[in-house]
Amino acid sequence: MSILIRGGRLVTASDDFVADVLVEGGRVALVGADLDVAADRTIDAAGKYVLPGCIDPHTHLDMPFGGTVTIDDFESGHGSAACGGTTCHVDFCIQGQGQTFAEALEGWHAKANGKALIDYGFHIAVTDLRDAERLEELASLPEQGITSYKLFMAYKNVLQVDDETLFRAMEVAAGSGALVMVHAENGDAIDVLVRQALERGDTEPINHALTRPPELEGEATNRAIQLSRIAGSPLYVVHVTCREAVDPIRRAREQGWAVWGESCTQYFFRSIDDLAQPDFEGAKYVYSPPARDASNHDVLWDAVRTDALSAISTDHCSFLWDGQKTLGKDDFTKIPNGGPGLEDRLKMIHHFGVRGGRISLNRMVDLLATQPAKLFGLYPRKGTIAVGGDADLVVFDPERRETISASTHHSKCDYNMYEGTEVVGVPEHVVVRGSVVVEDGELVGSPGSGRFVQRAKFGEQLAIEPIAAR
């Protein structure tokens, strides 16, 4: 089906103008004012924004963790993403101990098969590099479109790797064209603090944050930066929460080093005080790194405004409060780490960032779409509005009001971290490769239409075929 999106305000990372967009064959065929063309369907976008589909580079769907599995699989996660204006995401495929990367990827592809509504890629989360064969396999992954390696510097005895493994992966990435991602917290020191807290009988959710102080995020961030410099690999620090981690990233970027960082929506709005809520309500806000003192909110807004941090993701990792989070009712270390948010990122950042005067509309698009596309090998096919690129588009009503609630979101999660928050500005229509998957805010797409995307190597662009002359 061809679609003509008529009279919208097109906003990309660099442009802002009123025009029409013609979609044919799943791609953007024409962009221009008052296009004199016919289409199977016309969407009136007058008074609305037309944005490139958002890209979430940090999600965990159908992921085992802490003796349970995230409540959102690819079907519910993709429905939630689409309704929030996200048309592509990159999920983490986690290598089990003793598992080949091929075996891990086979399992994650199976999770998505038949359930995908939006497009997706995979990062590989490295946990086991014990022999030369694994190193060789890791080096081959970028040729298969898996162009980012994640390593955990935390979760001791579960996911954490030692510095030798981290450094060896960085050396592989330097030669293979991959981007190294790190969860930067000092897991060894955290383990000591956790054991001391339990020995004291401190078992409430607030202790999750108290045993993971911001200094340990800052130390690990700086350590990863210095190791990546020696190895010669690019580095991307995920879910940055605080000044202690922002500062070393900012300094590295000022030096022109190949270092980037992201934060996540929740870190702009939630604080350590949320973990102190009574009656185990604080467990809803247990994720790692933890929510920090509220003074860090302004630090993060300044960081994304000035490009000290280059992207905002969600780290969507949803568990039921009742039945999954409650596994840690008597021991905070048994609370599954993670929270929902895949559906709320664009609405929250638009309302409090753009309408709140903290960032520009162009910068919002850059943070939520263009920079993730460029950093993770999806640009210019995705992450912008360009002739020949995928027709991943969001018709966004900047004046429509919505109250965010678990009673209306599309995640299977039984709570929402922004419950009761009224926002102005919501996605109205969402198009994925030329197919309308959200119409007037309602999910209309069918599972199975989303595709796995093989991403380009770091620093390269994903090729797009030229559009034939009309």
CATH code of residue 317 = 3.20.20.140
Domain that holds residue 82: 53-375
For residue 405, tell me if it sits in a domain. Answer: no
Q: Do 157 and 42 belong together in one domain? A: no
Query: Is residue 430 situated within a structural domain?
Result: yes
How many structural domains comprise the chain? 2
Among 316, 342, 375, where does a domain finish? 375
Whether 325 maps to a domain, the answer reads yes
Q: Are 22 and 63 found together in one domain?
A: no
CATH (domain of 13): 2.30.40.10
Are 138 and 9 members of one domain?
Answer: no
CB atoms within 10 A of CB 467: 15
Give the Cα separation of 242 and 222 in Å (integer).
13
Assigned token pair, 163: 């510095």
Q: Please report whether residue 318 resides in a domain.
A: yes
User: Could you tell me if residue 454 is inside a domain?
Assistant: no
Strand positions, DSSP E, 2-161: 3-11, 16-24, 27-32, 41-44, 49-52, 54-59, 64-65, 68-69, 86-94, 119-125, 148-152
Same domain, 14 and 139: no
284 and 390 assigned to the same domain:
no
- 409 is a domain residue: no
Amino acid at 411: S
pLDDT for 469 equals: 63
The answer to the question of residue 44 being in a domain is yes
pLDDT recorded at residue 465: 81
Does 81 lie in the same domain as 9? Answer: no
Same domain, 43 and 74: no
User: pTM for the whole thing?
Assistant: 0.97
Looking at the fold, whether 172 and 57 belong to one and the same domain comes out as yes
Long-range CB contacts (< 8 A, 24+ apart) of 323-329? 324/68, 324/71, 325/280, 325/283, 325/284, 325/286, 326/280, 326/283, 327/66, 327/67, 327/68, 328/205, 328/283, 328/286, 329/280
Q: Per residue in 433-459, is it b (16+ CB within 10 Å) or e — as a string? A: bbbbbbeeeebebebeebbebebbbbe
* Distance, C-alpha 459 to centroid of its chain: 19
Scan for tokens 């004291």, then name that residue: 200
Q: Cα–chain-centroid distance for residue 374?
A: 14
Residues 31 and 91 occupy one common structural domain: no
Q: In the chain, which residues have pLDDT < 50?
A: none
Residues 276 and 391 in one domain: no
Element (H, E) at 275: helix 272-275
411 occurs within a structural domain: no
| pLDDT for residue 463 | 85
Looking at the fold, whether 138 and 123 belong to one and the same domain comes out as: yes
Distance, in Å, from the CA atom of 21 to the CA atom of 151, rounded to the nearest integer, reads 41
Residue-wise pLDDT for 352-387, tens only, equals 999 999 999 999 999 999 999 999 999 999 999 999
Indicate if 63 and 13 belong to the same structural domain. no
Predicted local confidence at residue 131, as pLDDT = 84
